[in-house]
Amino acid sequence: MYVPTPLFKIGDYATFGWNYTSLEGTPTAIDVLVSQSSAGETYTLTANMTFATNPTFVWDTSKQANDPDAPLVVGMYTLVIKDSDSAITDLPSPGYLQVEKTFQFGMYTPAAYTPYPQWNCDICNN
C-alpha cells in the first residue's frame, strides 16, 4: 500500500504519535527534534519529555516559523526521537531505545488567496 508523505502548513500545529517495541530498558526521558537537512537546521521540540508507552506530541510550528535566526523553510523534514541521555550520533544498543530518524514529512507555506475573477491560469490554453 502506498502511503503519501504527510504535509504540514508552517505556522499550524502538527501532531505526532508513536509507540515503542522490544525495549528491555526504558529511558527516563526522551527528546523530540526535527531536522531539515537542506537548511542545515535541527530544532529541539521538547527535551526531557517523560517516557510513556504511546506518546503524542503536538508541535506549534509558529514558534520556529517566526524565529528570526533560523525560521522554518519549505521542504522535507525528519522527525528524530531519542533517549535524552543519548546523542543523535550514538549507535544503538540491543534492547534500548535507538535514535529513531526514519519518519519524514513536508512543510509548506500556502500561496496567498486570489479571488476567482482575478485568477489567471499560466499553463491553460486561452
User: Each residue of 9-43: pLDDT tens digit?
Assistant: 999 999 999 999 889 998 999 999 999 989 899 99
pLDDT at 1: 59
Report the distance separating Cα 11 and Cα 57, nearest Å: 16
All cell numbers assigned to 28: 527516563
Are residues 91 and 40 in contact, defined by beta-carbon separation less than 8 angstroms?
Answer: no
Please identify which residue in the block is written with the cell numbers 526514519.
Answer: 102
Helix (H) or strand (E) holding 62: helix 62-65
Query: For residue 125, is pLDDT > 70?
Result: no
pLDDT at 126 exceeding the cut of 90 = no
The mean pLDDT value for 83-104 works out to: 92
Q: Is the model's pLDDT at 121 over the cut of 90?
A: no
Please give the mean pLDDT across all residues of the chain.
91
Q: Residues 31, 33, 37, 39: is their CA dihedral positive or negative?
A: negative
Q: Please give the pLDDT value at position 120.
A: 86
Q: Cα dist. 72→8, 9, 17, 80, 83 in Å?
A: 12, 11, 21, 16, 24
In order of their start, the domains of the chain are: 7-118 (2.60.40)
Largest Cα–Cα distance of the chain, in whole Å?
66
